[in-house]
Amino acid sequence: MRDFSADHRWLSLNTATVRRQGDLLEIIEACARHGIRAIDPWRDQVAAIGLERAARTLRDAGLELSGYCRGGMFTSDAAHRIEARDDNRRAVDEAKALGAPCVVLVVGGLPQYSRPGSVASKDIPAARAQVEEAIAEMMEYARDARMPLAIEPLHPAYAADRACVNTTRQALDICDRLDGGRTGALGVALDVYHIWWDVELLGQISRAGKGRLLAFHVCDWLVPTKDILNDRGMMGDGVIDIRSVRRAVEAEGFEGYCEIEIFSEAWWRKPIDEVLRTCIDRHRTVV
C-alpha cells in the first residue's frame, strides 16, 4: 500500500467539498496554494465559469482531474428520455474537453426524483432496467470519445432519490453484462461512504480488479448522521476503517488519486484554507 504519510501527492479534491466557499476559479487557486495536484469538478461549477475558461484555468494551474461529476440520472418517464440522453452526451463532451479520466455516473433512483416532472413510480426493478439500458446507450457515445464511464454505487439510503445501484456487486454485475470483455469502457467509482457497511465489500473489490476500479473516494460515516445527504464526515471523524478499504483497492493495482468528497453543512461553513489543511492532514494520517 502506498505511503501517504509524507506528502499528499495522491490527494484529489472533489470540488463539492468546498462548493459553498467559492466558485471553481477560487477553488483551483486554493488547491494551488495547498499543493493539491488534482480535482474532480462538478458540472454546475464548470458551467458557472464556462467550459473553455475552466479547461484553460485547469491547464494553466497544472491540475489533473480524477474524474468528472457527474453523468447519470437515467431514470425518467418517456417524455424526459431524450433530455436525459442528451444531457449525458454533453457530460461526455465536457469531460473530454477538461481532460477527465472518466465520467462518474450517479444513475438515478425513481423517475420522479431523477428527472423531476416525470410520472411518479414505485417500480424500482423497472428503474434498474432503464438504468442498464441507458448506460449501454451512453457507452456507445462515450466509447467514440474514448471516455470511460464509472458507475458509482450509492448507499442504499439513496435508492429512491439518487441511485438504484446500491452495492458494488450490483454495479459490477452491470459492468459484466455490458462490458464482459473488460475493454476499459466501463467500471466503478467506489466511495467508502457508500460501501463501507457491505459484508461483501472486499470480495467485490477483488472481483473488480484494477481494470474496473476507475475512481476511489473517501470521507467518513458519522454516528449519529444528522442528515443523510449533507452530514458526511471528515476522514477520521467517523467509524469507517478507511485504510482497510484503500488497502484492498491498492492490492488490486489501483494507483490513482484518493479523492476527498465531503457533503457537509459543517465543513461548508468553514474557511476554504482550513478545510484543505484538514483534508491534507487527514489524508496523511488516516487515509
Tell me which residues touch a copy of itself (CB under 8 A): 110, 113, 122-124, 128, 155-157, 159-161, 164, 166-167, 170, 196-199, 221, 223-225, 228, 238-241
Nearest 5 degrees, angle CA 222-CA 46-CA 273? 50
Reduced to 3 states (helix: H, G, I; strand: E, B; else coil), residue 193 is helix
Minimum distance between the CB of residue 149 and a copy of itself, rounded to whole angstroms? 19
Residue closer to a copy of itself by CB (options 155, 283) is 155
Q: How far apart, in whole angstroms, are the C-alpha atoms of residue 196 and residue 190?
A: 10
Closer CB to a copy of itself, 5 or 121, in the complex: 121
Shortest Cβ 255–a copy of itself spacing (Å): 25
Radius of gyration (C-alpha) of the chain in whole angstroms: 18
Helix (H, G, I), strand (E, B) or coil at 69: strand
Nearer to a copy of itself, 221 or 254 (CB): 221
The CA–CA distances, whole Å, from 219 to 84, 198, 240, 261, 268 equal 29, 16, 9, 6, 14
Q: Between 57 and 225, name the residue whose CB sits nearer to a copy of itself.
A: 225
Smallest separation, CB 211 to a copy of itself (Å): 23
Contacts of 110 (CB under 8 A, 6+ apart): 75, 120, 121, 122, 123, 124, 127, 160, 161, 164
CB of 159 to a copy of itself, least distance (A): 4
CB of 196 to a copy of itself, least distance (A): 8
Q: Which is nearer to a copy of itself, 6 or 223 (CB)?
A: 223
